[in-house]
Each structure stands twice: as structure tokens, then as C-alpha cells.
Amino acid sequence: MRALIISDVHSNLEALQRVMDDAAARGGFDAVWCLGDVVGYGPDPEGCIDLLSRQELVCVAGNHDWAAVGRIGVEQFNDRAAQAALWTAARLKRDHVRFLAGLALVERQGDFTLAHGSLRDPVWEYLVNRDSALNTFSRLTTPYCLVGHSHLPFLCRERDGVAEFAPFAENESVSLGASRMIINPGSVGQPRDGDARASYALYDSDEGAVTRHRAAYNVPVTQERMRRAGLPEHLIWRLSHGR
Ligand code: ZN
């Protein structure tokens, strides 16, 4: 079984389409595991939901998904994120609202647990330090956990009660072995690790490995659509820089 692992698509259909094409060219996938924030920031919320809905999909809710359907307010968002969330909410049709509102906070697939931020606080917590990683390990009932939210790809292994973070490099293949692990595949639609290309991972159950990849997409196409939609200039700018 092969799963395409994606997170933080953020209504960037151009990037999502390229990631799916890239993954198809690398041997394809049987299922899509999405770690939340399908919408928010970008210009194509309906297109991204429609494309994902046509896949064999397991998807958890992110903070932007809930904000777009009113399950949380936008008070905790910065001004630009709030503006984009309200823009998204205003254009979603009933089916899209139903899709987003129906997403669970945590899903389990075989040896993996999927959540957007962390297992302590799936919608909001950024899993970026040892404290948050150890807390998620303490709640983890499967060997491996997949998270997004920070838009930063990483690996975090549990060894002798310690959480060890390591970079998850492009084209790096990590073997799933004895130690438990938290994996972040990076962001499809708004990378923040200084690389503008979309980031994702592929899980292959025969190989027992997860591999991270990057896919270059046509950033100006997304940016032009954002400009036409009147989305904040900073959100447009940052896609060129991967930050
Ligand atoms: Zn996000």
C-alpha cells in the first residue's frame, strides 16, 4: 500500500495538482492522507476540496478548516489569516462546508495516527519542541504520528524517553523501525522552510519507509488568482519565498 501524505494545502490547487502528478510519476499511491488546513490563505478552496474528495482520502481538520466553517472564530488569527478565512467562508458551497465541518480531529490508519497540530491540541498546538513532542508521544497509541501545522518538514524520534528532532531532507527515505516517530511532511500550498516548492511525503508499506519529496509548481499562477481574489499582498508575496 502506498499513501500520499500531504498537509497545509491552503487552497493552492496549482500546488496540489502538481504534487499529485509528481507522486503519480514516482509510482503512484492508493490513498491520500491529509493532515489538515485544506483551505485558508489561497484562492481555490472549492477546487482543492473537490480534487481531494475524488481520492481515497483520510483527512483531519486544521485550524483554517474549522475557521472557514465557523467552528472556531478568527480572533486567534493574525489579520491576514483572518481576512483570508472570511473570504474563504463567504464562497464555500454547502457541500464544501459539509466536507470541512465533518473532518475528525484525529484519524488512525494502521501504524499511523494523523493530526493537524499535535495530539494534545490537534487544532492549535505547534509541535516544534521537545515538550510538545514528548506530550504527543505520551498520547500516541500507534508507532508513528503524522502532523502538519508548522509547515516545517521534520522527523522526531523517541529514544529512551527523549524526543530527538532531525531535519527531513528532500528525497530522504526514513525506514520505520523500532523507535516511535513523529513525522511532518511540510506544506503543499504555503511552504515556510525557505523553499517555494511544494513539500510532501510518500509512505510505502512494502518498503516500510516514508520518503519526502518536493514538487516545483507554477507559483505565479496561484499568485495571480490570489491577486484577482483580493487576498492580502503579503500572502501572495510569501509564496515566492517559501516563508
Ligand atoms: Zn497551515
Please name each of the domains of the chain with its CATH number.
2-241 (3.60.21.10)
Residues 6+ apart with CB under 8 A from 162: 130
| Rounded average pLDDT over 77-87 | 94
**Average pLDDT of the chain to the nearest whole number:** 97
Q: Strand pairing of 57-59 and 112-115?
A: unpaired
Q: Say whether 176 sits in a helix, a strand or coil.
A: coil
CA–centroid distance, residue 182 to ligand 1 (Å): 17
Instruction: Read off the pLDDT of residues 140-170 as tens digits, 9 standing for 90 and up.
Output: 999 999 999 999 999 999 999 899 999 999 9
Instruction: Read off the pLDDT of residues 93-120 as tens digits, 9 standing for 90 and up.
Output: 999 999 999 999 999 999 999 999 999 9
Helix 79-91 with 45-53: angle, nearest 10 deg:
60
CA–centroid distance, residue 151 to ligand 1 (Å): 6
| Rounded average pLDDT over 199-218 | 98
Task: Give residue 72's pLDDT.
Answer: 92
| Rounded average pLDDT over 181-197 | 98
CA–centroid distance, residue 205 to ligand 1 (Å): 27
Task: Give residue 178's pLDDT.
Answer: 84
Q: DSSP labels for 216-230?
A: ---HHHHHHHHHHHT
Percent of the chain with pLDDT over 90: 98
CA–centroid distance, residue 178 to ligand 1 (Å): 30
| Rounded average pLDDT over 80-92 | 95
CA–centroid distance, residue 150 to ligand 1 (Å): 7
Q: Are 83 and 27 in contact (CB under 8 A)?
A: no
CB count within 10 Å of CB 43 equals 28
Beta bridge partners of 198: 215
CA angle 34, 39, 45 (to 5 degrees): 115
CA–centroid distance, residue 37 to ligand 1 (Å): 5
Cell matching residue 56: 481515497
CA–centroid distance, residue 10 to ligand 1 (Å): 7
| Rounded average pLDDT over 85-94 | 95
Task: Give residue 181's pLDDT.
Answer: 98
pTM, two decimal places:
0.97
CA–centroid distance, residue 197 to ligand 1 (Å): 15
CA–centroid distance, residue 135 to ligand 1 (Å): 21
Residue length of the chain: 243
CA–centroid distance, residue 64 to ligand 1 (Å): 7
| Rounded average pLDDT over 227-243 | 97
